[in-house]
Amino acid sequence: MSKPTTNYVDGEWRGSETGETIEVRNPANPDEVVATYPRSDKRDAAAAVDAAATAEAAWRDTPGPERGRILREAGTILDGRKEELTDILVAEEGKARPEAAGEVQRTIDIFHYFAGKASDLAGTRKASSGRDTNLYTRREPVGVAALVTPWNYPIAIPAWKLAPALVSGNTVVLKPASLAPGVVIEVARALDEAGLPDGVLNVVTGPGSTVGDEFITSEGTDLVSFTGSSEVGEMVYEQATGEGKRVQTEMGGKNPTLVTSSADPAEAADIVASGGFGTTGQSCTACSRAVVHEAVHDEFVAELVKRAESIDVGPGHDHEMGPQVSEAELSSTLDYIDVASNEGATLAAGGGVPDGDAVETGHFVEPTVFTEVEPDMRIAQEEVFGPVVGVIEVSDFEEGIAVANDVEYGLSASVVTDDHGEANRFVDAIDAGVVKVNEKTTGLELHVPFGGFKRSSSETWREQGDAGLRFYTIEKTVYDGY
């Protein structure tokens, strides 16, 4: 397994000014140190910003198809290293291997997709009211992009920010999450090998309070893209907009699946279990609330409990559900389970740490189901970020919609129904940026916009596809009277 130990700044692999390091431990076996990375500070971050600013003009002037060629080559290099990247992701973040492999493949697909978009960034020609004027628009890069990315999708989320930023001509400074930075370092390595010019991408590991803060507030950065908690994201938004920067934030979720009276309870349980327990519930789009019509409630609960109890929990390399990423995340999930019980919810499945030699030392938790959850309980209102689903019983479709919308978040939502009219009403009425019919709340196509409502997003700019390119470009209108 590759164990990179340096930052990537101005085309060089270098240590930090502090000389200090961060240990990344295997969440399935915390005694195992997977790798060490620089514990960088503001000096390292400032050097990265300086390098990106210096490289900006030349990269801006590089033809789009050439930028695309480099991204395509980097994607091909990553494709040849899928097994290695998957190993790093499982060891650092803890994902089950099929989930980790899928995330790596998504990253490759993102690079190839945006490489293909590189030739479509020239703008549009418009009809002029004057006979002797050519009227057209140009799409140009904004400048230096500061990217701050999370640990739960440690390669896919950096990729869907990085690829459109680079292909549209911006230079980049990137701070990966300290819990799982290895795969981002490998992305930088692939881009370097593909011929990316020095300074165009700079990756610095270290705390958000130093590296991230410098990236966000520096006069040398022009736009900021952040994914993480709502509490931190709202501070980032305030900081960056206060500096006059273009800002995109994607944050938390409390995502519902509405199960209507026409739904098949077994199918609905499959959908909720996949959305709620997949990736150990550590996804901003994970289903944490099943809002269920009383006519199918009891049968749905029985089916969901059956699925929760059948999940094989253990180290990600050979089990269905891996550990939580850290002791702190596990502790938070167990605290929420205690809160739910104390508030009067009924524990129907899980609720503790699993038994067995394979899970003896890691940050493991059982897939958990609560019933008799009231909409105002904390378990129904606050993001847990673990494999915990609360079931809320409702008497009709309208009450279900009201309960689904009665939270501060609005990222992803789904409905399970056999009535197309109900599906259409749900799409119209739900307050969420991603809406699914008879599908789980998790899982995204890479070529369509992604973002949320309310506290799930700054509600400014969407990510992915053409929407992602719009964030990283600015339009110039040209009146050519020649």
Active site residues: 284
What per-residue string of b and e applies to 320-356 under the rule 16 or more CB within 10 Å gives b?
A: bbbbbbbeebbebbbebbeebeeeebeebbbbeebee
Query: Any residues with CB less than 8 A from the CB of 242 and at least 6 apart, and which?
Result: none
With beta carbons less than 8 A apart as the criterion, state whether 343 and 379 touch.
yes
In 62-197, alpha helices (H): 64-79, 82-93, 97-117, 156-167, 182-193
Q: Which of 176, 172, 175, 184 lies closest to 145 in space, CA to CA? A: 172
Q: Is 60 helix (H, G, I), strand (E, B) or coil?
A: helix
The two structure tokens encoding residue 333: 């999930």
The structure tokens 């991204």 sit at 71
Distance in angstroms (rounded) separating the CA atoms of residues 188 and 9: 10
What element of type H or E holds 67?
A: helix 64-79
Distance in angstroms (rounded) separating the CA atoms of residues 29 and 24: 11
The two structure tokens encoding residue 143: 């400048």
The two structure tokens encoding residue 213: 């803060």
Distance in angstroms (rounded) separating the CA atoms of residues 284 and 294: 28
With beta carbons less than 8 A apart as the criterion, state whether 212 and 47 touch.
no
The two structure tokens encoding residue 101: 């492999």
With beta carbons less than 8 A apart as the criterion, state whether 142 and 24 touch.
no
Q: Which of 302, 21, 68, 332 lies closest to 178 in space, CA to CA? A: 21
